[in-house]
């Protein structure tokens, strides 16, 4: 549809601590601040944006809130580990030593990590 031409996707992440979130997304993940206002911050996320907004009563979901499709998930996991970001290991998932899960058909590799407020984010690589 023509109305979507030129549109950019926006993922929304809510947090309790705006300063800790800024440090995590800007310094640990290396995302560039695209804009900010009194309600939160927009970080550049690929061709889209990640909106981070602090809410005093926020409670994280155990499910991923946003993800990045990357060309090499293992390289990204190593890079994030170098910045102190640990991958989440789920019991029974069969993740490798780096925390990467491979789909049974071998087409996908996925790793998960959390921000300081417990928001789960994912890295995926399609084969």
Contact 77, 65 (CB under 8 A): no
- Burial (CB < 10 A; 0-12, 13-18, 19+), residue 109, is buried
Domain annotation for the chain: domains and CATH numbers: 2-126 (3.10.180.10)
Please give the pLDDT value at position 127.
72
Separation in Å, CA 74 to CA 107, 112, 124: 14, 12, 10
| Residue range 94-127, pLDDT digits in tens | 999 999 999 999 999 999 999 999 999 999 999 7
pLDDT tens digits for range 22-81: 999 999 999 999 999 999 999 999 889 999 999 999 999 989 999 999 999 999 999 999
Q: Which residues contact 90 (CB under 8 A, 6 or more apart)?
A: 101, 112
> For residue 85, what are its two tokens?
């970001």
Q: What average pLDDT score do residues 81-104 get? A: 96
> Does residue 1 have a pLDDT over 80?
no
Does the pTM surpass 0.95? The reply is no
| CB of 40 closer than 8 Å to CB of 54 | yes
Report the C-alpha gap between 16 and 54 in whole angstroms: 5
């Amino acid at each position: 549809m023509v109305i979507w031409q030129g549109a950019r996707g926006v993922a929304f992440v809510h947090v309790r601590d705006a300063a800790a979130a800024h440090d995590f997304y800007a310094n640990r993940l290396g995302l560039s601040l695209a804009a900010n206002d009194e309600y939160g911050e927009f970080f550049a996320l690929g061709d889209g944006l990640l909106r981070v907004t602090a809410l005093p009563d926020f409670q994280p979901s155990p499910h991923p809130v946003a993800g990045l499709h990357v060309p090499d998930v293992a390289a990204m996991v190593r890079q994030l580990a170098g910045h102190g970001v640990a991958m989440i290991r789920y019991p029974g998932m069969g993740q490798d030593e780096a925390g990467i899960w491979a789909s049974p058909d071998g087409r996908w590799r996925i790793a998960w990590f959390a921000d300081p407020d417990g928001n789960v984010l994912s890295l995926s690589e399609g084969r």
